[in-house]
Copies of this chain bind each other. A is one copy, B any other.
Amino acid sequence: MSHAVPTGRTGVTAAGGFRAAGITAGLKASGKPDVALVVNDGPRFDAAGVFTSNRVFAAPVRWTRQLVSTGPGVDGVPGGAIRAVVLNSGGANACTGPEGFDDTVATAEHVGSVLGVPATEVAVCSTGLIGERLPMDLLLSGIGAAHGALADEGGLDAATAIMTTDTVAKTAQVSAHGFTVGGMAKGAGMLAPGLATMLVVVTTDAVSDPATLDAALRQATRVTFDRLDSDGAMSTNDTVLLLASGASGVTPPVEDLTTAVTAVCADLAAQLLADAEGATKEIAIEVVHAVTEDDAVAVGRSVARNNLVKTAFFGQDPNWGRILAAVGTVPETVVFDADLIDVSINGVQICRAGGVGEDRSLVDLTGRKAHVLIDLHAGTETATVTTNDLSHAYVHENSAYST
C-alpha cells in the first residue's frame, strides 16, 4: 500500500472518475473549511453504504441509507447508485425533526441541481453538534462554491473540510491489479463498535455492482472500523460509503476488491485511532484461543470499553486485575475458564492461569503503543480490538465540546 504524502490525486480522488472539493461555507465559527463535495463522473455509479446502528439517527443517515438500499430500491428508484456525496462539518443535523430532514432533502436537491443529476443519487453526510438546525443559506451557497472548486486533485481538500476535532486530515489509497481504491475519513474520539462517529467515503475506479460493493464494504468494516472502540459511544451520524466509477475498465474478482477496500479502511482506521481525542495511548487488545471469533471480539470489546482499564493505561499501570475483571463481564455465552486465562502486556506475561505471573514492574508502558494479549485457552479463534486510554485531555475535550 502506498501511504503517500497526501498531494496530487489522493484520498477520494486517487481513483479515476472522481473529482472533489473542500471549501469554507461559514458553518464553523472557526472559519475553517466545512463543506466537501465528492463527484463520481462515471461511467458507472454503483454504490454501497454501512451506517450507524444507533436507533437515534440523523436526517442525512435516513436519506442516504435509502439511496444505497440494494434490492428493489425505494419509491421505484433502483438503489445503489450515487453520483455525488456532499458532506458538512459544523452541524450534525440530528434530532432536528421533520424540518431537519427537509434540510437534508433540500441539500441533495441543490447538489443535484448544480451538477445536473437526480437528487435521489446525491448522498448527504453531516457531522457536528446534535440538536441544531443547519444554516441552510450558508450551506447552499457553500455547495455552489464547492462545485466551482471541484478538481481531480481535490481529495485532500475534501478530507480537510470534514474535520471536526480531528487534528489531521485522513486519506489513504492503494492501487493493484489495474484498479485503485482511495478514501477519506473524519473522526476522533467517539469511536465505537458497529462504527464510530465517523464519516468515511471510499472510492474506486473498479467496475463493480451494488451487491458486490456491499459485500466488500461490510467485510472491510467488520474487521476495521467495527473493531475500533475508543469510548464505546455510538454516533447518530456514522456513515461509510463506497462508490465505484468503473473508470479503470477493470472488473476485479470480489476477493481482490475486498482486499483493497479492507486495506484502505484499515489504514484510515489506524489514523482515526492515532488521532482520538485526548489519547496518550493506542492499545491493541489481541484475544487468542477463543472458541469463536465473536467470542474474541466480545472479550476484546469488554476490555476496550472498561474505564478502569483505560485510566490504568493512562497512568502507565499494568493493572492486569482490571483486565481480568473486564473479561469477566462478558455474556455467559462467551466460553472461557477464568482459571486458565493468561494476560501479557507488551510481551510480559503478568497474569498466568488467572493468577499472578511475571513481575508487573517488568512492563514498560512509557510508549504510545501498547499491546495486550489475552489467551483464553478455549479454542482456535482470534480477534484484535483497538482502543485508547482515558486521559485528562479526553475529559477536557469532551466536557467543553458544545460550549
Quick check: B351 and A398 within 8 Å, CB to CB? Answer: no
In the complex, chain B residues whose CB is within 8 Å of the CB of A233:
306-308, 322, 325-326, 329
Copies in the complex: 2
Interface of A is mostly: loop
Q: Which of A52-60, A109-117, A215-223, A245-253 contacts B (4 or more CB under 8 A)?
A: A52-60
Which among A100, A311, A330, A336 has the greatest number of chain B C-beta atoms within 10 A? A311
Quick check: B398 and A395 within 8 Å, CB to CB? Answer: no
Quick check: B55 and A100 within 8 Å, CB to CB? Answer: no
In the complex, which of the residues B56, B57, B99, B354 contacts A56, with contact meaning CB atoms closer than 8 Å? Answer: B354
Quick check: B395 and A55 within 8 Å, CB to CB? Answer: no
Q: Is A207 an interface residue (CB 8 A)?
A: no
Quick check: B395 and A321 within 8 Å, CB to CB? Answer: no
Q: Is A92 an interface residue (CB 8 A)?
A: yes
In the complex, which of the residues B97, B312, B324, B336 contacts A398, with contact meaning CB atoms closer than 8 Å? Answer: B312
Chain B: minimal CB distance from A120 (Å): 23
Say yes or no: A338-B96 contact (C-beta < 8 A), given A395-B311, A399-B314.
Answer: no
Q: Is A135 an interface residue (CB 8 A)?
A: no
Quick check: A319 and B401 within 8 Å, CB to CB? Answer: yes
Quick check: B56 and A311 within 8 Å, CB to CB? Answer: no
Q: Is A231 an interface residue (CB 8 A)?
A: yes
User: A316-342 vs B: 1/0 string, CB under 8 Å?
Assistant: 010111101111111010001011000
Closest-by-CB residue of B relative to A327 is: B56
Q: Is A149 an interface residue (CB 8 A)?
A: no
Chain B: minimal CB distance from A253 (Å): 36
Say yes or no: A131-B95 contact (C-beta < 8 A), given A55-B328, A311-B394.
Answer: no
Which among A133, A336, A395 has the greatest number of chain B C-beta atoms within 10 A? A395
In the complex, chain B residues whose CB is within 8 Å of the CB of A54:
325, 328-329
Quick check: A398 and B330 within 8 Å, CB to CB? Answer: no
Chain B: minimal CB distance from A132 (Å): 7
A330 to B356, CA, bound (A): 37
In the complex, chain B residues whose CB is within 8 Å of the CB of A392:
392, 395-396
User: A85-116 vs B: 1/0 string, CB under 8 Å?
Assistant: 00000001011110110000000000000000
Quick check: A390 and B395 within 8 Å, CB to CB? Answer: yes
Say yes or no: A97-B355 contact (C-beta < 8 A), given A231-B308, A308-B398, A317-B402.
Answer: yes
Chain B: minimal CB distance from A332 (Å): 8
Closest-by-CB residue of B relative to A354 is: B95
Q: Name A's B-contacting residues (CB within 8 A).
A: 54-57, 92, 94-97, 99-100, 129-133, 190, 231-236, 305-308, 311-312, 314-315, 317, 319-322, 324-330, 332, 336, 338-339, 351, 353-356, 390-392, 394-396, 398-403
Other A-B contacts than A96-B355, A317-B403, 16 sampled, CB-CB below 8 A, are A54-B328, A55-B330, A56-B328, A57-B338, A95-B354, A133-B356, A234-B328, A234-B329, A236-B328, A307-B390, A311-B399, A315-B398, A315-B399, A317-B399, A317-B400, A395-B395
> What are 17 sample pairs from A and B whose C-beta atoms fall under 8 A apart?
A56-B328, A92-B321, A94-B325, A95-B321, A96-B355, A130-B321, A130-B324, A190-B308, A231-B308, A233-B306, A233-B322, A233-B325, A234-B325, A311-B395, A319-B401, A390-B395, A392-B395
